[in-house]
Structure 1
């Protein structure tokens, strides 16, 4: 996340350290923008452009910034551009600012605003709840179809390469051509693994919405189910399907890698034997 940091020049080192500590403690990706010099001729134009492209504006030490005309101008521009602003006040604890930064990073406030209208329309919310559950089930079906597709394609590449090697369908000098399908298979495995990961993230987001809508119902069955499963932190009760599924492409990738090594050795073996014979001849002359 690109963050424009508004700060006094004298606090530059402290502001940089604050962002660095936030990245480490919160485990989030931040790309801080701290302008070096506010006396440059085009400083305001550059500052406005950086604020425009930033996802978030961080005001480091609001009390100190209130005494700076340039910092006040930057805050004003951020407000005009409707940028979310996180303020750090030295009178508050760092944890408060960190929490605000985390909420902004995860779009928590924007997420809650999506439910701020029409909360009393229970019947309408129930219809939305049913739609989200149905789309979640549809996502699972799509995920299974995707897994089946990749297993079929990659399994076919493995079987085809193995059959071609066993039956010597390709001349020895052209054996390396079989590396093409194996490399293609490994690339497909990588793509497959990324898709599984994204399906998992999408499903997690859907259930976050489902759980939010469920709060309007008399019984929160999905939330109860998640609690019964230990909220995902009790490994003896529940292990993520996504994490388990992501191992399957890795196993296929390892198999393809072994096949690639075998193909390479099969192609190099005559040369290795010839070289070994020459070495033996040199070592033991007649």
Structure 2
């Protein structure tokens, strides 16, 4: 955490740099803190939209495969394999994007934690996280990122098993 703090704070700007010193400095810190929290929230919203897109896409593919049903067995194995590769590719992209959003939000919350060191309360970094059991007990709080990273993998496994079922029957 200290490395982040060393990189976060501008050593050329202190409370004494402001005309009304401490009050204006604290107001500036608070505004930047609010911006960081807002950006973390926006990242979460974008992640949710990404999940909705990929879940809808995969649901449509599954519905289409269900509608086509038995006719899949009449397709050449090369065509089925090519389709599987495309589906696995988009599942991999989904997984990587979700993981990237998770990493980005983790970094943002580390920065928010360092900001909170200069504010009167540790709302996110200590109080809320501790109230949630720090994500250690899934019955108390199960972080969404732990669940959402498995969804693309489950679709990928289902696609592979589906191809095996079609080619072996």
| SS across alignment from 1:197 | helix
The structure with the largest alpha-carbon Rg is 1
Pick one of 136, 145, 158 that aligns with 2:62. 158
1:215 match:
117
Q: How many residues align?
A: 158
Q: From the superposition, tell whether residues 205 and 171 of structure 1 become closer, same or farther in structure 2 (CA, over 3 Å).
A: closer
Alignment of 1:38-49 (within 5 A): none
Write 1 or 2 for the structure with the bigger share of strand. 1
Alignment RMSD, CA only?
Answer: 2.3
Alignment of 1:128-277 (within 5 A): 128-166=32-70, 168=71, 172=74, 174=76, 176-222=78-124, 223-266=126-169
Higher relative CO (Cα under 8 Å, sequence separation at least 6) belongs to 2
Which string of whole-angstrom CA distances, capped at 9 and with x for unpartnered residues, describes residues 27-68 of structure 1? xxxxxxxxxxxxxxxxxxxxxxxxxxxxxxxxxxxxxxxxxx
Mapped to 2, the partners of 1:225 and 1:139 lie a distance apart of: 19
Q: From the superposition, tell whether residues 141 and 191 of structure 1 become closer, same or farther in structure 2 (CA, over 3 Å).
A: same
TM-score, scaled relative to structure 1: 0.50
| SS across alignment from 1:194 | helix
Q: From the superposition, tell whether residues 164 and 176 of structure 1 become closer, same or farther in structure 2 (CA, over 3 Å).
A: farther
Name the stretch that deviates more: 157-166 or 214-223.
157-166
Mapped to 2, the partners of 1:221 and 1:175 lie a distance apart of: 56
| SS across alignment from 1:238 | coil
1:113 and 2:113 correspond: no
Name the stretch that deviates more: 232-241 or 136-145.
232-241
Mapped to 2, the partners of 1:203 and 1:110 lie a distance apart of: 15
TM-score, scaled relative to structure 2: 0.80
Q: From the superposition, tell whether residues 232 and 172 of structure 1 become closer, same or farther in structure 2 (CA, over 3 Å).
A: closer
Mapped to 1, the partners of 2:61 and 2:122 lie a distance apart of: 46
The Cα of 1:239 is off from its aligned counterpart by 2.7
The Cα of 1:230 is off from its aligned counterpart by 2.3
